[in-house]
Structure 1
């Protein structure tokens, strides 16, 4: 059965909560006092939620990996170098631990909704905003929706740019032909659009499993390519001078690499047994740690400050470099099906689009893709803006909000169990302190404080960087400008060494050096 949650049916006092009764019941809306009859009480709330057509916990774990890894793999080594390696590596390990915990409590929060309010046992288009609304009220629900929409939209733009850039590099490397980056963005978006018409993660689980496999293959090839380059490049590898601004900027990339929590409740909702999401979380972040850390270490040992935006161009064996390009491109294209989904379902809810496939879904989702393409064509270089999103909305949805919502929902649930009375709207902060266990409360508060400080510093540094960065001219402006012909012979390989001119091949060609990249 398909069901769309409506905003007016949101907060209510349920007269059949956790009851063995399975008949219809009436409930009183705690916002407007109306009494409504609800067929959603025809559910045995004493039994755990089970969706026979859903995903098992192992495939769900691969979904989480597919949602996170890929773009982070290629950018994270640069962020670690930017933070002077050891500091960056320690921050990365701590951050992986933090986001593992926040993903865990976010999963517990959704399970509280499933075990308390029966309508969530049907299809829910926007589970994360519903978590925020049940925890802290309708205003919070709207805030979560805005944060998720901004985050998913910007990540979609970044992945579209990354995939298009990789494809352009492959075309140049294999054929020597130069094709306009602006045109490639349009081609990639057009090819991607049919995948975006799928309803929810359980409809395209195969795509994310493939994305995870391609990312794993890319990690292996990065390590192999780095080992080949080690003899020539390692003697010249060094760290750039430490700058506090660089450390804060690297926080945005680190959060982008591990913070995909906006899509987690949507993925969890499509599981056979959402209560097993904890297994999926620990599986996913363990896999990611084994992916990220070796790549970061090899980037430091072999290339040092010759690394730039991505580690891929630093791999000097061309066939390995381009094979990694292909793998990461496939990942970005397939992962966009996950990244787009919460955003598209949110917009569909706004315009009351039916959940079955039809012309309205096609029109809305095509419109969103057009908007993403417009931004990508407007800002073809996106690094500082990515840092801004990573330090602001990603910090909110991946670090602060999961802990905040959990302590409120957990207090609601424990208060109901202890008093034996159903709650009437979100609890207050006194109940949060009273009904949460002190270790849980302390951990969540500490994580939220770290998120506020780290995210705030990263956001401020990104804003400063945005004011000093020279962006490329928008595609729809540059097309009218006269440019010298490009014969496509420029090298796609960033050489190593102090002056970025050391190649492992005697006749190797290097891209133009950027000696002040970290300053």
Structure 2
């Protein structure tokens, strides 16, 4: 009875090397983050340096790529300095996560494990709750992305229903995407989708190439405006920049999968630099081409009917379709465990997964503002996972051991202050923008 009532937040999200348990339906395998299936090879601890770089780059490079030109337009050219600062801070906090992983031998396997080591069960539950919320909102952003992109690819589409109600545009394509995604949420083994989701890096490269093509063929590389700095838009810019470097919750999985864990710092540096260059190139190209007219999804600025537009949108569509089930899996499993319905696996999974999908569709159709939602995720959740929690955990674990220098303590406190300010101001700004649109 006690085991049945145990909260899923008390269990690890990311448990590398649990293939055998998962095949037999073990409880720990049920709550394992499905991203681990993408990142980990069959033999845990067997990832080479190059594979680890690829894995970590795939984690860091995500849908934030689509919003960086908008972020640059919001903050102006000088906000690129803030982009570099955010990248440096996220690199440093990623290194702090690695140090926390090494603090207790091989006992720490996941991000919530770090929370338990630092703050006990309350720490595990707190970071678990934030990660569940982040995953849920990311799933919503996937649906918004699908609706916006398909509407750009197939403008003017509509479907009439009996009674005179007509589905059209973004709403129609959000529902279509949900229907396509629904069967994937019923699956227990998502390894096939994991391979498909690996095209994220190809999608990023295709988007950048499409922007170059659009700039040369259509608009030319000249900004229509080009603010040096826009103080009112800086909170939005900062929040979206943090989205670009999100992924710290999966860093422990990459760390645990490495053959030589001492190389993690080098892997993190290589991946961060590569992704930063691609992000910066996309942001600058998008802003140079479209200026202040750039939209929250830069693909919406690309002219309809062009080959490069179709390439950019099609590659952009694949990753959300494949990764929705991967992202939402821990949420549905947590609900299943919380309701103590794990014994009725097939029916329970179908009902809960369908209910969660429907709820994300409702939110996606109600708040169809990709840029604002990503800004909210970046300011409220990504900052917590990528900045606040690593710093607090590191200080909590190492300060009693006398392993933190005063200069480093001062630097971490400064990062905490900046992170807290971004979280408060960015969350307020993004929520105000969302509410003001109604």
Does the pair score TM above 0.5? yes
Matching of residue 69 in structure 1 with residue 61 in structure 2: yes
* Corresponding residue number in structure 2 for 1:148: 131
In the TM superposition, what whole-angstrom CA distance separates every residue of 1:1-30 from its partner, at most 9, and x where no partner exists?
A: xx999669979xxxxxxxxxxxxxxxxxxx
Gaps of 5+ in 1: 12-49, 122-126, 412-430, 471-519
Contact 1:51 1:270 in 2 (8 A): no
Contact 2:211 2:286 in 1 (8 A): no
Contact 2:72–2:283, Cα closer than 8 Å, also in 1: yes
Q: What is the match of residue 457 of structure 1?
A: 425
Q: Distance in 1 between matches of 2:198 and 2:435?
A: 40
Structure 2 Cα separation of the partners of residues 270 and 192 of structure 1: 29
Counterpart position of 2:388: 400
Q: Compute the displacement of 1:287 (Å).
A: 2.2
1:84 corresponds to 2:76: yes
- Shift of the alpha carbon at 1:55? 6.3
Q: How big is the alpha-carbon RMSD for the aligned residues of Structure 1 and Structure 2?
A: 3.5
Structure 1 residues 185 and 351: CA distance shift in structure 2, 3 A: same
Instruction: Output one character per residue of 1:113-148: Cα deviation in whole Å (capped at 9) or x when no partner.
Output: 5x253xx66xxxxx3223212211222222212211
Partners in 2 of 1:98 and 1:9 — Cα distance?
28
Q: Does 1:183 align with 2:168?
A: no
Determine the C-alpha separation between the residues in 1 that align with 2:351 and 2:174. Answer: 20
d(CA) in 2 for partners of 1:272, 1:370 = 41
Question: Partner residue of 2:404?
Answer: 436
Shift of 1:379: 2.2
In structure 2, the residue matched to 1:415 is: none
Question: Which consecutive unaligned segments of at least 5 residues does structure 2 have?
Answer: 12-40, 160-167
Q: Deviations over 1:19-69 (max 9, x none)?
A: xxxxxxxxxxxxxxxxxxxxxxxxxxxxxxx97256625444434433443
Deviations along 1:141-186, whole A, 9 cap, x unmatched? 22212211211111110111101221222122xxx64462323222
1:106 corresponds in structure 2 to 97
Mark the CA change 1:365 to 1:109 in structure 2 (over 3 Å): closer, same or farther.
farther
Q: Which has the larger radius of gyration?
A: 1
| Structure number with higher relative contact order (C-alpha < 8 Å, ≥ 6 residues apart) | 2
Shift in CA distance, 199/88, structure 1 to aligned 2, threshold 3 Å: farther
* Cα offset, 1:393, TM superposition: 1.8
1:286-336 CA-to-partner distances (Å, cap 9, x unmatched) read 221121111122223222112122222333472211211111111222333
* Alignment pair present for 1:216 and 2:205: yes
Could you report, residue by residue, the CA deviation over 1:84-140 in whole angstroms, capped at 9, with x for unpaired residues?
A: 11x211111111111122122223323435x253xx66xxxxx32232122112222
1:376 paired residue among 346, 364, 369: 364
Answer yes or no: is the 8 Å Cα contact 2:141–2:370 preserved in 1.
yes
Give the aligned length. 396
1:190-339 alignment runs, 5 A limit: 190-196=179-185, 204-231=193-220, 234=222, 237-240=224-227, 242-266=229-253, 268-269=255-256, 276-316=263-303, 318-339=306-327
Q: Secondary structure at the match of 1:392?
A: helix
Larger helix proportion of the pair: 2
Measured against aligned partners, the alpha-carbon deviations of 1:380-416 in whole angstroms (never above 9, x if no partner) come to: 33443432232112211111111211232334xxxxx
Task: Answer yes or no: is 1:95 the counterpart of 2:86.
Answer: yes
Q: Deviations over 1:439-489 (max 9, x none)?
A: 44333222212111222221222233234223xxxxxxxxxxxxxxxxxxx
One of 388, 396, 409 as aligned partner of 2:376? 388
TM-score, reference length from structure 2: 0.78
Instruction: Indicate conservation of the 8 Å contact 1:147/1:393, yes or no.
Output: yes
The correspondence for 2:415, drawn from 439, 442, 447, is 447
Could you list the per-position Cα deviations for residues 318-369 of structure 1 after superposition, in whole angstroms to 9, with x for gaps in the alignment?
A: 2211211111111222333443344345445534576997544444433332
TM-score, reference length from structure 1? 0.67
The yes-or-no answer on 1:161 pairing with 2:152 is no
